[in-house]
Structure 1
Amino acid sequence: MSDVRFTHIGGPTVLIEFDGWRLLTDPTFDPPGRTYGFGWGTSSRKLTGPALPAAGLGPVDAVLLTHDHHGDNLDVAGRLLLTAATTTITTSSGARRLGGTARGLKAGQSTRLEAPGRPAIEITATPCRHGPPLSRPITGDVIGFALTWPGQMHGPLWITGDTVYHRALHRAAAAIRPGTVLLHLGGVGFPLTGPLHYTMTARQAVRLCGAISPHTILPVHYEGWQHFRQGRDGIERDLRRAPQQVRARFHWLPTGSAEHLQL
């Protein structure tokens, strides 16, 4: 059994600590108020700042960066933090842009984190589609991460990354059989593209999680930015209509304080 400490800093940014490891997802530490361009005429304003400052974070062994080209997953302060982390694991295209110690993965590829006195972590990239069909040339490469290490009781930890529900995601999740899912939600949309979604809605998440039955579902990246169409209230409203066996598995992490979970 693994005792894992999760600290939700805001947006997609979570500090994950266990057995001496300190991993950070998608670092976003800029203050609120700035508008960030996402390309092709889309943009969004950051509405809330991080619950913890980057300066008080302490050492980070690895950054798990789902993609480097959108400011709500990697902002200016987050980029500075990358230089202090031992390594960054991200998309192949992102690793080429970042250089340095960045390791690039494509969906299905794996890498390992190893250090004396700590369990080795196997990290496998999972597929993401950050928008409707055929949107990849516009939205760019994105991956999620499945983390496996000795002692996990319920199965791997899966970080979905920014993605909508699609067949490749379902197939990957069924193969992983995750015990805990760090689930990117929010139903992202933009005025320019009308009703199209660029991340999962709660209804899509219920469909996915109902098929794979993880032990624990931890929603993240659903508020704090102008482009989210479904915040916590909307997610909870849809969850009330979901099957009890799925609804009961959702757990909201507090923002800014650590919570211990058994994985």
Structure 2
Amino acid sequence: MHADVRLTHVGGPTVLIEVAGWRLLTDPTFDPAGRTYAFGWGTSSRKLAGPAVAADALGPVDAVLLTHDHHGDNLDEAGRRLLPAAGAVVTTVPGARRLGGGATGLAPWASTTLEGRGRPSIEVTATPCRHGPPLSRPIVGDVVGFALRWEGQRHGALWISGDTVLYGGVRQVAGRVKVGLAVLHLGGVRFPVTGPVRYTMTARDAVTLLGEVRPHTVVPVHYEGWKHFQQPRPVIEREFAAAPRDVRDRIRWLPIGTPTDLET
């Protein structure tokens, strides 16, 4: 039996994933617009847009897939308040220690399984990320992506890239995971204090990575709603328009706040 998936892009990195009775939430960010958040080492950003779906309208959440807990554009105060009510929280190993409360920490390529009565089990595998230039991990902290596998996927796993630059670790996904649906964190993040250094993928990086991973469908996220994004949607669209056809034909922009059915 095929199990298609419904995605709702709430805004930023926050996506509600509904499949086969499961409701999974990525990187909960539900604070209103206007606040400036410090990210450490002199970096900060202002939130420009609030969530398209309010936290109290979200409904029950079976699991939170948290790529990292220590940046306010991936977990803010309102998002943090949602965690105790979630059935499970899966994140990085250091993040699980910080959060406590039974959160599950995964190192890259480690896995855990979500199980629920009357629903197919979902295998969650952490995938590598590096949230900045070489040797930046001690400063920017650990981040992971997630590959989700369940029975009935037609094209392959659902992969959430997490906040990462293009480097050898994330490129391992191409050889280790057959990806059906890729939720790709973009935005080409830079900060004035660190000049030209990038902290997430540019659209050009994404084209390179997608040519290797070759997912059936690609959903861009985490490119809007914050001042530190250097590549909003129009910039990304121009780069994708110049990409090889077998890449650009896979891109699917989701209307923010609107549930959208996709194949996996």
Normalising to structure 1: TM-score of the pair?
Answer: 0.99
Amino acid corresponding to residue 173 of structure 1 in structure 2 = A
Name the residue aligned to 1:109: 110
Name the residue aligned to 1:233: 234
Name the residue aligned to 2:206: 205
Kept in 1, the 8 Å contact 2:5–2:261? The answer is: yes
Tell me the CA shift for residue 174 of structure 1. 2.4
Tell me the CA shift for residue 44 of structure 1. 0.2
Kept in 1, the 8 Å contact 2:173–2:213? The answer is: no
- What SS does the corresponding residue of 1:141 show, helix, strand or coil? coil
CA distance in 1, matches of 2:126, 2:174: 11
Map 1:159-174; keep pairs closer than 5 Å.
159-174=160-175
Kept in 2, the 8 Å contact 1:24–1:60? The answer is: yes
Deviates more, 1:147-156 or 1:169-178: 169-178
Tell me the CA shift for residue 211 of structure 1. 1.3
Name the residue aligned to 1:24: 25
Name the residue aligned to 2:95: 94
Map 1:1-263; keep pairs closer than 5 Å.
1-263=2-264
CA distance in 2, matches of 1:214, 1:228: 24
- What SS does the corresponding residue of 1:223 show, helix, strand or coil? coil
Amino acid corresponding to residue 69 of structure 2 in structure 1 = D
Tell me the CA shift for residue 241 of structure 1. 1.2
Deviation string 1:142-175 (CA, Å, 9 cap, x unpaired) is 0000000000000000000000000111112321
Give the percent of matched residue pairs that are identical in Structure 1 and Structure 2: 66
Kept in 1, the 8 Å contact 2:127–2:173? The answer is: yes
Kept in 2, the 8 Å contact 1:86–1:101? The answer is: no
Tell me the CA shift for residue 262 of structure 1. 1.7
How large is the Cα RMSD of the aligned pairs?
0.6
Kept in 1, the 8 Å contact 2:174–2:212? The answer is: no
- What SS does the corresponding residue of 2:37 show, helix, strand or coil? strand
CA distance in 2, matches of 1:207, 1:127: 17
Tell me the CA shift for residue 46 of structure 1. 0.2
- What SS does the corresponding residue of 2:173 show, helix, strand or coil? helix
CA distance in 2, matches of 1:161, 1:189: 16
CA distance in 2, matches of 1:78, 1:212: 31
Tell me the CA shift for residue 240 of structure 1. 1.6
Gaps of 5+ in 2: none
- What SS does the corresponding residue of 2:172 show, helix, strand or coil? helix
Deviates more, 1:1-10 or 1:30-39: 1-10
CA distance in 2, matches of 1:206, 1:140: 26
Kept in 2, the 8 Å contact 1:154–1:178? The answer is: yes
- What SS does the corresponding residue of 1:235 show, helix, strand or coil? helix
- What SS does the corresponding residue of 1:233 show, helix, strand or coil? helix
Q: Which runs of 4+ in 1 moved over 4 A?
A: none
CA distance in 2, matches of 1:171, 1:98: 28
Aligned residues: 263
Amino acid corresponding to residue 25 of structure 1 in structure 2 = T
